[in-house]
């Protein structure tokens, strides 16, 4: 096409027809500009397609992260419900005024007497919004929904983990060295015959009061953790549904 116009331009110049020559020259310039604009538009379209493809990939990875979190939430719920049963056993059986002697670890112990440090997977989320990537979504509401979820999760888990640490410090202060020593001896089954268990029949004894207080507090902490985990699981499932709809619309 360019060679064709060059031949025409040369012929017009040789024929000394400047007006027609100028027209063809302007036409040639316009065609070049149009070609450049088309090339830019194609390049821009390619970049948008790449951004959409990367957005889809990150949405899929984010969905996998959320599914992993949900599995972890379910596992924690099973574990914490077991702990609640152990706590109930101590409150209803060990501290019933009839138990004379503790002989097994599970009679005195509930869970680990400390809570799990909770977090959510954020690799895909950070890749999306903290990497400088230019992403394209058909529905911009998905961006708000993702950011809202992780903001909620961060707020809840920062507070929860802090409260759990405070609970552990309080628990250790209630148990004290004597209580920890007794617990360790039960775990190791060492010299149990030398432990004085008479306090189990005396609700006014400091050992009885401390154990009861710890178990009641522990019960509350586990229930609070369960509540947060269940809400996170619910919100994770809702976000997965929205991600799947976004991917289906691509």
- pLDDT tens for each residue of 57-88: 889 999 999 999 999 999 999 999 999 999 99
pLDDT above 70 as % of the chain? 74
229-246, pLDDT tens digit by residue? 999 999 999 999 999 988
Burial of 52 (0-12, 13-18, 19+ CB in 10 A): middle
Measure the CA–CA gap between 3 and 121, rounded to whole angstroms. Answer: 60
Positive or negative: CA dihedral 207, 210, 216, 218: negative
- Going by C-beta distance under 8 Å and a sequence separation of 6 or more, which residues neighbour residue 60? 247
pLDDT exceeds cutoff 60 at 39: no
Q: What phi and psi values does residue 17 have, to the nearest 5 degrees?
A: -120, 75
Give me the domain span that covers residue 228: 2-248
175-226, pLDDT tens digit by residue? 777 777 888 888 888 888 888 888 888 899 888 888 899 899 999 999 999 9
- Are 118 and 205 a contacting pair, CB within 8 Å? no
Q: What pLDDT shows up at residue 18?
A: 59
Residue 57 neighbours by CB distance under 10 Å: 12
pLDDT exceeds cutoff 60 at 40: no
Burial of 113 (0-12, 13-18, 19+ CB in 10 A): middle
State how many domains the chain has.
1
Burial of 71 (0-12, 13-18, 19+ CB in 10 A): exposed
- Going by C-beta distance under 8 Å and a sequence separation of 6 or more, which residues neighbour residue 223? 84
pLDDT above 90 as % of the chain? 37
Residue 221 neighbours by CB distance under 10 Å: 23
Q: State the pLDDT confidence band at 95, using cuts at 50, 70 and 90.
A: confident
| CA 88 and chain centroid, separation | 31
The larger pLDDT score, comparing residue 3 to residue 146, is at: 146
């Amino acid at each position: 096409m360019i060679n064709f116009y060059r031949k025409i331009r040369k012929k017009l110049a040789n024929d000394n027809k400047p007006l027609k020559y100028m027209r063809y020259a302007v036409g040639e310039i316009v065609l070049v500009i149009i070609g450049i604009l088309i090339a830019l538009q194609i390049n821009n379209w390619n970049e948008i397609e790449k951004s959409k493809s990367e957005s889809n990939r990150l949405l899929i990875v984010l969905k996998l992260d959320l599914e992993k979190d949900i599995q972890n939430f379910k596992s924690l719920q099973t574990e914490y419900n077991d702990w609640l049963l152990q706590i109930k056993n101590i409150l209803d059986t060990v501290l019933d005024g009839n138990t004379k002697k503790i002989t097994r670890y599970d009679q005195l112990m509930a869970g680990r007497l400390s809570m799990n440090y909770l977090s959510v997977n954020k690799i895909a989320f950070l890749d999306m919004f903290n990497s400088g990537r230019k992403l394209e979504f058909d529905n911009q509401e998905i961006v708000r929904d993702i950011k809202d979820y992780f903001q909620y999760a961060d707020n809840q888990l920062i507070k929860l983990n802090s409260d759990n640490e405070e609970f552990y410090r309080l628990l250790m202060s209630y148990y004290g060295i004597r209580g920890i020593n007794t617990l360790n001896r039960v775990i190791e089954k060492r010299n149990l015959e030398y432990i004085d268990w008479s306090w189990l029949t005396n609700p006014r004894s400091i050992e009885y009061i401390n154990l009861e207080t710890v178990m009641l507090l522990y019960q509350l902490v586990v229930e609070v953790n369960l509540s947060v985990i269940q809400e996170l699981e619910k919100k994770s499932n809702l976000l997965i549904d929205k991600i799947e709809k976004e991917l289906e619309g691509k």
